[in-house]
A and B are shown apart, each in its own frame.
Chain A
Amino acid sequence: MKLILNIKSILCVLLLTLSISSKAQLVGKAEKGTFALENARIHTVTNGTITGTVIITDDKITAVGTDVTIPRNAIRIDCSGKSIYPGFIDSGTTLGLNEIGAVSLTQDASEIGNFTPHMKALTAVNPNSVLIPVTRVSGVTTVLTVPQWNLFPGTASLIDLWGYTPEQMFANFDALVLNFPSTGRRGRWDRRSDEDIKKDAEKALKKLNDYWEKATQYANMYDKANGKVMYNPELESMRSAVQGKTKLMVNCNAKDDIIAAIKWIEKNKVDAILTGVNEGHMIADSIAASGLPVITGPVLTIPRSNGAYDAAYANAGILQKAGVKVAIRTNENENVRNLLYHAGFAAAYGMGTEEALKAITIVPAEIFGVDQEVGSIEVGKRANLFIADGDPFETKTNIIQVFINGWKIPMESRHTLLYDEFLERNPGLK
């Protein structure tokens, strides 16, 4: 703790003394090396909670336990009274793609057209987005960033929130996204009649089946012709998904849409993940029977006007208790840092702290097939973790230090910097 304080005060001094050019830089530099996080309550997620030490060497966790030998070159960080958690994973965001909501030219989450499966989120991730430091200092180290709106909007990618290029940030998972035809309204400006909505959804389903059939034909042709096929980037981008080799993320929220999506997935034998699933609580058992994993969220959202006020709060817990593998997402952009509280509300409204914690750590890691790399505090995993001064779901808890891929991340963001500058403004009045 002392050490951290010292670093912080040194940084403050630096900030005060350095010239304007250093202020133009968003945040300070990260450090890498060998770190010993000592005397911490270690919430491993997969192996219970112990009091002991975590050793980080370069990008990996190299030791976890009560009786750990501390390497001589290690930078020692005393974590007495503190807790260590694996970095949190938000399994559905637009982080890196969108910058300022109402400024359309900073919005890269949705390309023109309804059939744009060849769009790749990773291409447009801006590593220098101001939103990224704001998010990661909250303990969210990894997010899935997802193209939006269209029927097939593109391919989503898992990224760590540290790195100077999208490739450095890439966290070894991506998946094609399908926004399953919805019988819901698109927003409060959507004034279509119930009939029209139904018709539109039916039309969209027909479209979807057409595309899918085409993509299947293409994939078969591709195999037969050893890749010597016409240039067709849309169908090419769907090839591995239609063959069940990679995951398809199927977004659906209204109860009827979830039912229809599950049927569709089963019929087409797709390796799918359900996302959204806002009304899953109504049909938890059938979702469990399908065996499909679910990424649900946002938790802080409003149900239908005749629904229970707490339906969305309780949704993740109900699904999990029914036997569904559930991860939680925010579906947010600038507010991804609130992932902790989406999970916290799910915890309070029936899921319990332990399961809610899993839903933003090991469970999404498993769903994405990266559970050998992230999602828990285990030896050999990448060092994505943070130190907190309490239960991170509790609103007042401070996240003291974040590590991503072993990098000790500067705990700064636009928000903290503005705080530092303006808490006691100088000059003040006059």
Chain B
Amino acid sequence: MRKLCLSIFMLICMPLYYLSAQEPEDIKLSNSILIENAMVVVKAGTAAKKSSILIEDGVITQIGTNLNVPGDAIVLKADSLYAYPAFIDACSHTAIPKKDKDEKQKEVKDPGNPGYARAGITPQKSVSHNLALNDNSVKEMRKAGFAISHAVPRGRMLPGKGSIILLNDDDKASYILQDFSQYGSLLSAKGRVYPSTIIAVMSKYRDLIQQSKNAYKHEQDYLSNPIGLKRPGYAPELQALYPVVNQSQLLFMQAEKTLDISRALTLNKDINTKMIIVEAKQAWPNLTALKSNNAPILLSLDLPEDVKEEKKDSTAEVSLDYENMMSRKKQSILDYQNQAKFMHDNNIAFSFSYFDTKPKDIHKNLNKIIENGLDKQVILEALTLTPAKMLGIDQVAGSLEKGKLGNVILSNKELFTEDSQIEFLIVEGTKYAFEKKEKKKKKKKKSEDGESTEAANIAGQWSVIVEVPGDEQEAEFKFSKDGDDYTGVLIDDEGEETPLESISLDGNNLSFSFTVPMDQAGEVTMDAEVEIDGDDMEGSLSVGTFGSFKMTGTRTGKPK
């Protein structure tokens, strides 16, 4: 056990130069790439047209037919492919590893005055300090067609500033705009300290913003004439909020349900910031307030699943209750799925945010929105030009036009159609290729036809490979069924067993975690999230604060 874990630990601590050896494709031959003869959709709303695109030093220099192509350009024959402007993620935690769950909160002597950091207020912090471009989320987002992310920090009330980054695999992040935004939520502080409720969070915002305003004025007065004035104090939290107070920086405010959104927008009447609502799941009742907020909205792509019929009840009276409940629930699900269409119909500009959506579900859920009647072009716009404008980067991104960044999606069919698959993503002229997953599709089809929604059986021994930077690490897991639940262990090469915790199986989605001791680092908790497909599993393993890594496995033995 010790050996195995230690080696995982060592590997993830390895210097980052190991990373660059892995991706993109080996040795760079040229700084120019030609996408030849693709069906090009220049921007949302325009028809696909046969053309070629030349990208030099990451910038689109020519687009059309009969291009003047330099001799050293790498040619990507795209006769059978569609080209689209790559997607822009308007807000997410991409490239930011989850915090270690077991991170112990220090006891606070006076819970009414826990200090800014403990209260979840660190607006002076920048997401840039926590970016991990090797995080699995970057690869996954790329796979979904995103070349640019607006990454905001994880945390509670005001965790810090967000940055706009390119999703390429350099050892350092490629910023488009560093410290572009301030990110906030209405979440109370953790662990019973002030603000411990929504009502205190609201007051705290009012307090902070007013104090920041006053501090700003004080500072300006002092700068213009310090004589006889008290010297302004050092207040990094308040200083960090100056641009928000002065409306020169957007405040991205996470608010999911209608009451959250209503509270955020009501609050904004007092604090008067340029506020963007993020991860909205139920914003349609807030139409009036959204209109007067006069800003685009970021919708969640975490859509509710279609209703599963629960087991029926025997008695007549109750089955009426059940029918009533189900019909109301179905209506509710429809409302949630129709949110994007509702915004479009009511002329509210929208894009998406991706807090609660796994990147691999993005296209599935986009297709659901389209099935419910929203035009594909509108979706494309919401993924390209709208976020580009919102983030103030529409001069360099959001469409395939000369002078813009060479960020291109190449797909086998029109996007948002059945079996459409992204084959390549070009990020600033760098090409990423994705495996086709036809084989898998077939398997899936089978289970869909069978309408089997039952949970997968995971019992047995599994042999898995974790792709840590520069290496692959093997491990063995064993699951056994215990009633409706599973128990499991991690087995090391000496046969020692570590129990798995919080094993949860939802359909084909399995998650579990385990804690392993480290010589120097105390303990590290690892969380696995995988999808089971027969005797295969695929997913990720997140290792404490170190990031998350791809994990694949096969079943080597079934129980008798």
Contact = CB atoms under 8 A, between A and B. Distances in A.
B325 A282 contact: no
A306 B318 CA distance: 12
Interface string A409-420: 000000000000
B321 A286 contact: no
B317 A306 contact: no
A286 B325 contact: no
A283 B318 CA distance: 9
B509 to A, nearest CB: 16
A255 interface: yes
Interface string A67-87: 000000000000000000000
A283 B321 CA distance: 13
Nearest to A255: B318
A300 to B, nearest CB: 23
Contacts of B321: 306
A282 B318 CA distance: 7
Interface residues of B, number: 5
A306 B324 CA distance: 10
Interface in A279-300: 282-283, 286
Interface residues of A, number: 5
A255 B325 CA distance: 16
Contacts of A306: 321, 325
B30 interface: no
A282 B317 CA distance: 6
Contacts of B315: 255, 282-283, 286
Interface string A253-297: 001000000000000000000000000001100100000000000
Nearest to A198: B484
A283 B319 CA distance: 12
Closest 7 CB pairs of A and B: A282-B317, A283-B315, A282-B318, A255-B318, A282-B315, A306-B325, A306-B321
Contacts of B318: 255, 282-283
Contacts of B325: 306
Nearest to B325: A306
A201 to B, nearest CB: 14
Nearest to A281: B317
A286 B317 CA distance: 12
Nearest to B321: A306
Nearest to B318: A282
B511 to A, nearest CB: 15
B326 to A, nearest CB: 12
Given A306-B321, A306-B325, 9 more contacts: A255-B315, A255-B318, A282-B315, A282-B317, A282-B318, A283-B315, A283-B317, A283-B318, A286-B315
Interface in B317-334: 317-318, 321, 325
Interface in A355-402: none
B426 to A, nearest CB: 45
A55 B318 CA distance: 51
Contacts of A282: 315, 317-318
Interface string B87-121: 00000000000000000000000000000000000
A153 to B, nearest CB: 28
B320 to A, nearest CB: 10
A283 B315 CA distance: 7
Nearest to A283: B315
Contacts of A283: 315, 317-318
A282 B325 CA distance: 16
A266 to B, nearest CB: 16
Interface string A288-325: 00000000000000000010000000000000000000
A255 B317 CA distance: 11
A283 B320 CA distance: 13
B52 to A, nearest CB: 55
A286 B318 CA distance: 13
Interface string B294-334: 00000000000000000000010110010001000000000
Interface in B200-226: none
11 contacts: A255-B315, A255-B318, A282-B315, A282-B317, A282-B318, A283-B315, A283-B317, A283-B318, A286-B315, A306-B321, A306-B325
A306 B315 CA distance: 17
Interface string A41-55: 000000000000000
A341 to B, nearest CB: 27
Nearest to B328: A306
A190 B325 CA distance: 23
B323 to A, nearest CB: 12
Contacts of A286: 315
A286 B315 CA distance: 9
A122 B317 CA distance: 41
Nearest to B324: A306
A232 B140 CA distance: 64
Nearest to B314: A259
Contacts of B317: 282-283
Contacts of A255: 315, 318
A286 B313 CA distance: 14
A282 B321 CA distance: 10
A146 B48 CA distance: 78
A226 to B, nearest CB: 42
A180 B108 CA distance: 42
Interface string B333-354: 0000000000000000000000
A282 B315 CA distance: 8
A260 to B, nearest CB: 12
A283 B317 CA distance: 8
A306 B320 CA distance: 12
Interface in B19-68: none
Nearest to A284: B317
Nearest to A307: B321
A2 B90 CA distance: 86
Nearest to A282: B317
A113 to B, nearest CB: 25
A332 B315 CA distance: 31
A255 B315 CA distance: 10
B34 to A, nearest CB: 55
A318 B35 CA distance: 76
Interface string B278-297: 00000000000000000000
A61 to B, nearest CB: 43
A283 B313 CA distance: 12
A346 B325 CA distance: 27
A60 B321 CA distance: 51
Nearest to B317: A282
A178 to B, nearest CB: 24
A181 to B, nearest CB: 16
Nearest to B484: A199
Interface string A97-111: 000000000000000
Nearest to A285: B315
A357 to B, nearest CB: 28
B8 to A, nearest CB: 32
A260 B318 CA distance: 16
A200 to B, nearest CB: 13
B196 to A, nearest CB: 16
A144 B42 CA distance: 81
A357 B518 CA distance: 72
A327 to B, nearest CB: 23
B124 to A, nearest CB: 35
A111 to B, nearest CB: 31
A282 B322 CA distance: 13
Interface in A209-255: 255
A47 to B, nearest CB: 37
Interface in A107-162: none
B258 to A, nearest CB: 18
A304 to B, nearest CB: 9
A283 B316 CA distance: 9
A385 to B, nearest CB: 40
